[in-house]
Structure 1
């Protein structure tokens, strides 16, 4: 059967596009560590058992929550708005950052700090506006300010997830996918002192630097490296101050946020399970570049699958909550407050609530 010239031309053009069209930064070769064996994980607990949802007043994507000193739950949504919720008043809007608020944390004096993927590191003002604290360092503008944690002295530890795929250009969801496919290793961990204006670079070369929290003893910072399925510990005091080491590797999904549990240990949200195709293509950057050239609708999509981990002080997985049905999916993390654990999500139109263990 003779192939029409026009069809042959189209096929050649498509193949040339998929093979040759320029993409922002060629993908990098890497080798993923095997996932933790299922027999090394605690038996999965049904995530949807006892789970209730708290619908949002508008929009979606409560990426993180922080608990104010007076016990109100604060979250930021995909439309840029900030909201507080309490049992007595329900949802009350604080305002709009003008970007995409991701990580949130309160200082000991009640000041709300915001990691905004587009606007940078922000401080929320009493008049209902956001004051910009940082938008970059000596190397240039940040690309994707993602999460933060404030220590008792008011110093802020925060991550810039991807310098190569800035959220302002690509958006949060698409920028994250592009970075994971390219494995750009352009994420960093910083420390900023608002009082002095001092900014210190603590770690670089991370593959999508994401959630960050202080250890319970205050001697180290834990930071999620989403693109490599692992979490790092960076010492900030003691004889090993300034040193970094892998705290846990080979997680069964992409770690997003990490937070301290009130009764010890840490909560880690896995925003999606590991993708076998993505792991198989890790040594073949040219093939991953072909996938990056595809329209977003044709690229592999994250599965709707809910996963939440509790890890002990040594980085061992002590509890594994799992919901293959994805009743509440794309879980970014959890925040323990009193007798509840609030679950956050990249896309859901609600918060989820679990009874605290």
Structure 2
């Protein structure tokens, strides 16, 4: 019997069985050879596809999720870019320094270059020369004069010669000191994704130190904890650069020798995983933000989407070595800054798009309040500026029209199951595809009002901001992914705002 005959026979038999209610499925061959049976035909292939789909769903369900998310709703409505948020192109004035020579400059600090040491040297040399001149002058007088005339001659010489010489020399030294003081400068420092500390001086970049090991692959995901990741920076009263490294802790960097000293690397015996920002209180106490006690910095995307309150602010006394908790239960505690009046700390809760205020003094000491919320993006570092306000860099944006579907985190925030599924199916490194191409720098006041904003629509010059640091008329701009240091003049940034 030919294959066609066998197939036709099978089809006929199946058709007979179908007509008598004997079977419920018709082979594909029936559909091909017996058009009259198509309305009743249920393909075996469809059943197979259904089983495969069910198996796939079951497999996804059984795969463990890397996160344990909480439901969270940021706001009923996204911010609208109007008023102080009106779009401009101020950030497109940013000049890219050292492009390709540095990766991920995230925070900045300025320290004096130490020219006052030269003033001390000048004074010592002057005093020494003056003593030598006086001794030589008096000695020569004594050896050439008689006893009777010596005292008179010495007095006359001192009055006519030495005193004017001293006055002239003092004037000269005074001029030199004034010149030194007026030209006493400072360098700006920053850290990069490969664990290096850099000095920026007169638009020149030079290496200072490392916070971790030296390896060709420093800057990679795999080696970040070993190589270190410098984050926040500040300069103490002694001119020492303090650096908070995400993994290594609070470090003291000697700017002359490059020696790095570990000041604090744990809290209550637990090593740090994700330190972020820092500032120094008037009494020398160092305050730091810890973004997460669960996730390492290199896995920050999971901390963002998980949105659990695992962040906190700690205080450290470098004299006594004591460390204590200021406040916990924060959503990805990020930027941290002492207010202008030194009465409180401002801390960015990045994953919920708000900035909180923690009071340090008065009847509300230790209490936290929300300073500003529903920001048009996710706040990173906060820095005081010379206008009496604060610059807030936005790591990414969220506003009406920023994305065709809306803000990704706003959409999935209320649904833990959706967030679990996303992290099962999509590698964390691909989450960035959801980011809108728009950079924003905010300026906020002490009472939390947005004073103005600076934009780069389309992110043509800079993709996002971690920090804007003002040093004189210069404003340095960084982000943990950009391959350059941004620089813009203050008058250029605020022109027309």
Whole-Å Cα distance in 1 between the matches of residues 201 and 49 of structure 2?
A: 61
Aligned to 2:397: 273
- The aligned runs of 1:1-357 (5 Å cut-off) are 3=45, 14-33=56-75, 34-56=77-99, 58-70=101-113, 71-87=186-202, 90-98=204-212, 99-125=228-254, 127-138=257-268, 140-167=270-297, 171=298, 175-274=299-398, 276-293=407-424, 294-299=426-431, 301=433, 302-326=435-459, 327-357=461-491
Change (3 A) 1:62 1:10: farther
The number of equivalent residue pairs is 350
Mind listing any 5+ residue stretches in structure 2 that lack a counterpart? Answer: 1-42, 114-185, 213-227, 399-405, 492-497
Deviation larger for 326-335 or 236-245? 236-245
> CA separation of 1:86/1:278 partners in 2, compared to 1, >3 Å: closer, same or farther?
same
Q: CA shift at 1:124, angstroms?
A: 1.4
SS class of match (2:57): helix
What is the rounded CA distance, in whole Å, between the counterparts of 2:345 and 2:198 in structure 1? Answer: 27
Deviation at 1:212, TM superposition (A): 0.5
Q: Which SS does the other structure have where 2:314 is aligned? A: strand
2:92–2:456 contact (8 Å) kept in structure 1: no
Measured in 1, the distance between the counterparts of 2:429 and 2:444 equals 35
> What is the distance in 1 between the residues matched to 2:462 and 2:430?
24
- More displaced 10-residue stretch of structure 1: 1-10 or 186-195: 1-10
Question: What SS does structure 2 have at the residue aligned with 1:67?
Answer: strand
Which protein is richer in helix relative to its size? 2
TM-score (norm: length of structure 2): 0.66
Higher deviation after alignment, 298-307 or 147-156:
298-307
Q: What is the CA distance between 1:298 and its match in structure 2?
A: 4.4
Partner SS for 2:410: helix
Greater strand share, structure number:
1
8 Å contact kept, 2:101–2:484: no
- Give the Cα separation in 1 of the matches to 2:482 and 2:338: 27
Higher mean C-alpha displacement, 12-21 vs 254-263 = 12-21
Paired residues of 2:336 and 2:381 also in contact (CA < 8 A): yes
Structural RMSD (CA): 2.2
TM-score by length of 1: 0.91
Deviation string, structure 1 residues 142-197 (Cα, Å, up to 9, x no partner): 22001101123221111110112123xxx2xxx11111111121011111111111
Unaligned runs of 5+ in 1: none
Moved more, 317-326 or 291-300: 291-300
Instruction: Give the distance between the partners of 1:66 and 1:279, measured in 2 at CA.
Output: 34
The answer on whether the counterparts of 2:95 and 2:487 sit within 8 Å (CA) in structure 1 is: yes
Give secondary structure in 1 for the equivalent of 2:65. Answer: coil
Cα offset for 1:6? 9.4
Go from structure 1 to structure 2 and tell me whether the alpha carbon gap of 1:77 and 1:17 turns closer, same or farther (over 3 Å shift).
Answer: farther
How many Å separate the matches in 2 of 1:9 and 1:100? 48
- Contact 2:248 2:272 (C-alpha < 8 Å) held by counterparts: no
